[in-house]
Amino acid sequence: MNVRQILPFLLLAVAPALAQTSDPAVLAGACQGCHGVAGQGSHGIPLIKDAHSRAEFVALLQAFRANQREATVMGRIARGYTDEQIALLAAHYARAQ
Ligand code: HEC
């Protein structure tokens, strides 16, 4: 087996481990590469900072996770997070109300 053959399995093994944390700043780190350090969005990737209420944010992530909202990547990403972690991400990114 060469590296190219085992890499997908290594990534599968690491991804759930990364999603174990309950530190909102660490959780949000996984979003920043695409949505921007401040969640401001760019290059066609939507703004997520202060763009939704907490309830809307949670509903969006849950819909991505359940394949009920059209997505290129967010369906796969959302599947890596528990309800508790989604609530933490909502607290980090959603509008205070
Ligand atoms: C690989 C790039 C990428 C990463 C990483 C990423 N996103 Fe996204 N996000 C997208 C794209 C692209 C969309 C538009 C839907 C789609 O095509 O999947 C989106 C859409 C969203 C939306 C819906 C916004 C709206 O108003 O419709 C939310 C909320 C969101 N992402 C939250 C997150 C959170 C929270 C994380 C980190 C856990 C994250 N995203 C990580 C690329 C990314």
pLDDT over 70, % of the chain: 82
| Whole-angstrom distance, CA of residue 64 vs CA of residue 74 | 6
Q: Which domain holds residue 40?
A: 3-93
pTM of the predicted protein model: 0.85
Structural domain total, the chain: 1
Instruction: Report helix, strand or coil for 42.
Output: strand
Residue appearing with tokens 């760019």: 42
Ligand 1 center to 2 CA (angstroms):
32
Say if ligand 1 is within 6 A of residue 74 CB. Answer: yes
Say if ligand 1 is within 6 A of residue 48 CB. Answer: yes
| DSSP summary character for residue 47 | P
Give the residue whose CA is nearest to atom 13 of ligand 1. 45
CATH number at residue 38: 1.10.760.10
Using the predicted structure, report yes or no on whether residue 94 has a pLDDT greater than 70. yes
Using the predicted structure, report yes or no on whether residue 8 has a pLDDT greater than 90. no
